[in-house]
Structure 1
Amino acid sequence: MGAHLGVMRRLILTTLMLAAAPLAAKAQTWPGWPGPPPPGYDPGSAIADQHRIEMDRLRNQAAEREALAQQQRLQTRLTILQLQAARQPTPPLPPPTAYAPRTLEQERQAREAQDARREQMVRGVTEIDAWLDRRPH
């Protein structure tokens, strides 16, 4: 793609230079010596031609710089895409947990608390059973 733009740019510049060559020869101002100006010489036209040729040169230079900038933008985008494609994927994060992992001491305390609740429940159940088993009035 870059080579294609380079070939087109050279072709356009060559064409413009060939077209401007006869104008450049025609647009020379008369220096005022060694003799009178040639027939049909108009100093205003000669200066206008010189200005027009210089403006064309500057326009061509600006177009060339813009083409180079566009080519560099495309190359930059292509390089970024290649780098992103070559990048190693990030490993997936572990799923978030609803609780923080407990230490061994916390685990021991949780087991002891659960055992205490069971004992309380068993004791409560036996009290209820005793109340249900009581003799009616």
Structure 2
Amino acid sequence: MSLGIRVVSAAVGGLAVLGTAAPAQAQPADDVGPSAVTLTVAKGDSLDSSTDQRTVLLVCAPVQGGTHPNPAGACAEIAAAGGDFEKLRGHPERFCPMIYEPVTLAADGVWNGQQVNYRQTFANQCQADNRSTTVFHF
């Protein structure tokens, strides 16, 4: 079992035990498994070389919660993309400056019971914001 799945499994189990970590919401009937990911925004070309990172836990099923500031919005955005982080769309019409200050976005965990590992580096925060309106905003 990979470290990411163990961390997410422990986090989901911990939320179930705590009960007060986040308000519970009903899971949609079409979900087929647990959905919980750790999301990271890192300044730099990669997670390994970054010294400035922010990471949150987003749990979407069986309950919504975690440490993400807007779990309902983030879960809805990922669901609209079919759980495919490559298909997330934020502000695609916004033009960004040509300044190189790389930002790496990452997601690790499970979505509907399937393992998720997403990494993408953008030239700057504006371009990273074009990927998502809620998921990577924390």
TM bucket (normalised to shorter chain) is: under 0.3
TM-score by length of structure 2 reads: 0.22
TM-score in terms of structure 1 length = 0.22
Larger Rg: 1
More helix by share: 1
> Which has the higher relative contact order, 1 or 2, with Cα contacts under 8 A spaced 6 or more apart?
2
